[in-house]
Amino acid sequence: MRWWPGSWGQFWRTLDGRVYHGLMWARPWIGWLAAGLMIAVFGLVFWWVPLEAIQGWPQKIFYIHVPSAWITYAAFGVVFVSSILYLWQRAPLWDVYARTAAEVGFLFTTLTLATGMMWGKPIWGTYWTWDARLTTTLILWFIYGGYLLLRAYARPDVDVARMAAIVGIVGFLDVPIIHLSVLWWRTLHPQPVVMILDDPGGGLPASMLITLLVSLVAFSLVFAWLWIQRVWQERTAENLALLETLLERRVREESPA
Amino acid sequence: MGGGVRAATALAILAKDLRLEVRRVESLGTMAVFGVLVVVIFVFAGDPTPEDLSRLGPGALWVAFLFAGALGFGRWFAAEERNAALQGMLLTPVDRGVLFLGKWAGATTFLLLLELVLVPVALTMYGLDPHGAWLELALLLVVVAVGYAALGTFFAAVAARTTAGELLLPVLLFPLSVPLVLAGAEGGQALFQAGPREGYWDWLGLAVAFDVIFGTVCAIGFEHVIEE
């Protein structure tokens, strides 16, 4: 296979394999880089970045919570794009990408909700409030969960890859509408009586901004690494199943009944 | 296939579903009774005062509508799976989008009939009054029913193709229906208030946008769900 395809048609047809080779090539690099940066993030968070004046220690969860939330949306984006490409090209790898990204995305959505609640208790005085962003994230968690349940319970005679792809697309398209509706719903109501801070991204000091940016990169790499590991596992499992089938056929051919 | 043939095909599917329902009034009757039960049981949730009821009533009405609708959708494709009826339909040279339109129209009809029972009951029992805005209320009810029917038809077909069946349907359907529920509850709330109808048209617009987007996407994507 030449590195650069001859035409656009060929580019799209071979894109799944190219992505796979790229991911497998980058796998060890991303793994080590993610591990190194994650250690750096912990160093920055606990020793370098100054303690926030009002919130104190609980504010540090911000450096885990915000990157997790970003990954939640990025992973859903991978599911969406892979689902479209699967329905278009029908290459099994696109389905593997979508399925594994949803799994890892679900994990990070759970992490976002959990860290948000841990931070909310000391700062807001409550684990949960029906804030627009919280509500959207919770509904996103349910959509991810439903998508994974659907994949788990599809009947064996059904083309699950195809069905899950269209469900992934419908789910993704709904997210901005859900966010808009929840935003309206909250702004038309009186806000709950808790201390709501201004947007933390606004007047962020340089040290906090640097820590956040390093953490964003580190979390992106951790997500990428986990996702690549899952893609590799799924691919290996498929190859193994193929080998077993071939071996069985060979054994049957060589031992006449 | 010309536009006339498409419309005739969708109408034929709609007529088939309605005929089935008229001959054994099981789905709609059960849905309506179940919906009314939800409306009643909501009142047991903490001994509400008349003020509470007028504030939370519109939301409770939509919860009842959502649950009863999901109950009906559960049967919507389960019936087609019986005796390989769906396979029979798939063997005909009919566009899958047209098939969806027919089922969607049927589901919308069912939901409108359900609302016809549910809304008067809720208005009476919760003491809600739209202050003369009957037309606006009817418009909101129709728009929400159309959108919910589109998502419901789509996910009923999806759920029918799993081993979990009707159990999985609400899990898939409810999170995606959140904008519709909010539009119905908040838009309804705006009508039941005595003052100006603040926000009603915004919510109606949101629900209309939802109908257009998901009606189109579900109709286009339907073939990926039902084809073998």
CA distance A79 to B158: 18
Identity of the amino acid at B141: L
B215 CA: distance to closest CA in chain A (Å): 11
* SS3 category, A147: helix
* A2 occurs within a structural domain: no
Q: Which residue reads 């047209």 in tokens? A: B98
Q: Give the pLDDT score at A102.
A: 94
Read off φ and ψ for residue A56, nearest 5 degrees: 70, -140
> Does A178 contact B179 at a Cβ distance shorter than 8 Å?
yes
CA-nearest residue of chain A to B155?
Answer: A167
Q: Does B217 touch chain A (CB under 8 A)?
A: yes
The CA R_g of chain B, rounded to the nearest whole Å, is 18
CA atoms of A108 and B116, how far apart (whole Å): 43
To the nearest whole angstrom, how far is the Cα of A229 from the nearest Cα of chain B?
28
Residue B201 near chain A (CB below 8 Å)? no
H helix runs in B92-199, sequence order: 96-126, 134-160, 168-176, 178-192
Give Dmax (Cα) for chain A: 81
Question: What residue of A is the nearest CA neighbor of B172?
Answer: A146
Please check whether residue A213 lies inside any domain of the structure.
yes
B183, B120 Cβ separation under 8 angstroms: no
Show the CA angle centred on residue A193, arms to residues A188 and A198, nearest 5°.
80
For A162, the closest chain B residue by CA position comes to B224
Report the mean per-residue pLDDT for chain B: 85
Q: How far is CA B33 from CA B26, B40, B203, in A?
A: 11, 11, 28
Reading the block at residue B126, the tokens are 């919760």
Q: From chain B, pick out residues whose CB is under 8 angstroms from the CB of A150.
A: 158, 162, 168, 172
Chain A positions in Cβ-Cβ contact with residue B199 (cut-off 8 Å): 184, 188
**Tokens 């089938």 appear where?**
A245
Q: How many CA atoms lie within 13 A of B65 on its CB side?
A: 35
B214/A87 CB distance under 8 A: no
Mean pLDDT per block of 10 residues along chain A (257 residues) reads 72 85 89 92 83 74 87 92 91 91 94 88 81 86 92 86 90 86 70 46 70 89 94 92 92 79
Which of the two residues, A161 and B25, has the higher pLDDT score? A161
Query: Is the CB of B209 inside 8 Å of chain A's CB atoms?
Result: yes
Q: Give the domain extent around B62.
A: 3-226
**CB contact at 8 A, A82 and A97:** yes
d(CA B76, CA A174): 23
- For position B20, what pLDDT does the model report? 77
Q: Are A93 and A22 in contact (CB under 8 A)?
A: no
pLDDT tens per residue across span B176-206: 999 998 898 888 888 887 777 778 888 899 9
B residues 103-162 closer than 8 Å to A (CB):
154, 158, 161-162
Of the partner residues B168, B217, B228, the one whose CB lies closest to the CB of residue A170? B217
Shortest CA distance to A173 belongs to which of B216, B57, B149? B216
Q: Are the beta carbons of B197 and B190 closer than 8 angstroms?
A: yes
pLDDT at B67: 92
Determine the Cα–Cα distance for residues A196 and A186; give it in Å rounded to an integer: 14
Residues from chain B contacting residue A183 (CB–CB below 8 Å): none
pLDDT of residue B180: 92
Phi and psi, residue B26, nearest 5°: -95, -50
Quote the ipTM score: 0.86
Which chain B residues have a beta carbon less than 8 Å from that of A149?
164, 168, 171-172
Size of interface A-B (CB pairs under 8 A): 93
Chain B contact set for A144 (CB, 8 A): none
Q: What is the chain B residue with the closest CA to A148?
A: B172
| Cα of B33 to nearest chain A Cα, Å | 28
Integer Cα distance of A149 and A155 in angstroms: 12
**CB spacing of B228 vs A158 below 8 angstroms:** yes
- What length is written for chain B? 228
Angle at B41 between CA B35 and CA B44, to 5 degrees: 160
Question: Over the stretch B96-117, which tens digit does the pLDDT of each residue have?
Answer: 888 888 888 888 988 999 999 9
Please indicate if any CB of chain A lies within 8 Å of the CB of B178: yes
Please tell me the distance in Å from B27's CA to the nearest CA on chain A: 25
Q: Report yes or no: B195 and B131 within 8 Å, Cβ to Cβ.
A: no
B183, B213, B225: residue with CB nearest A173: B213
> Which residue, B102, B121, B107, is CA-closest to B27?
B107
CATH number for the domain including A168? 1.20.120
| Crossing angle of helices B168-176 and A160-187, rounded to 10° | 40
* Two tokens, residue A172: 């993704």
- B168 with A181: Cβ contact below 8 A: no
Residue B113, classified by CB atoms within 10 Å of its CB into exposed (0-12), middle (13-18) or buried (19+), is middle
Q: What is the structure's pLDDT at A188?
A: 53
CB B102 within 8 A of CB B11: yes
Looking at the structure of chain B, the number of domains it has is 1
Q: What's the CA gap between A76 and B166, in Å, rounded? A: 26
Q: What CA–CA distance (Å, rounded) separates B100 from A21? A: 40
A1 part of a folded domain: no
Q: Decide if A208 contacts A49 (C-beta within 8 A).
A: yes
Residue numbers of the domain that contains A212: 8-197+204-254
Q: H helices of A44-129, where?
A: 62-89, 92-124
When divided into structural domains, chain A yields a total of 1
Of A142, A175, A145, A147, which Cα lies nearest the Cα of A163? Answer: A147
pLDDT above 90 for B43: no
Contact list, B193 vs chain A (CB under 8 Å) = none
Question: Which pLDDT belongs to residue B147?
Answer: 93
Position B166 scores a pLDDT of: 80
